[in-house]
Amino acid sequence: MNLEDTLTTDVRAGYGERIINGRRAGLLAEAEELVNGPRSQKYGQPVDNFRRIANLWTAYLDGHEGPLSVADAALMQALIKVARLRETPGHRDSWVDLAGYAAAGFDAVADTMGE
């Protein structure tokens, strides 16, 4: 049996055959555990976090016209971390992610400017 056979299982359902991919199922199980466990506790209710992100993006985009730039994308990603840090300012991982977005954004902007 090869790896693909091991990772893929046939499941007989009422509406025909459904293929369950083991890698996908594992990823979804991990995501479910995180969003209903530690992340839920760190970042608060999703609606509150998404509202904060929407408010930050709305303020950031105030007066913006035209397509978004590489810098806009990097800064808006950073604003996601800012919104999360509002809920849990002591969460080191979010600070590290924020610094990572800043560094990667700086590098990407420099690439677009030919520096």
Residue 19, pLDDT score: 56
Contacts of 7 (CB under 8 A, 6+ apart): 21, 22, 23
Query: C-alpha angle with apex 33: 3 to 12, nearest 5 degrees?
Result: 50
CA distance 47 to 50: 5
**Cα(9)–Cα(30) distance, integer angstroms:** 19
Phi and psi of 4, rounded to 5°?
-65, -40
Which residues in the chain come in under a pLDDT of 50?
1-17
- Model pTM above 0.75: no
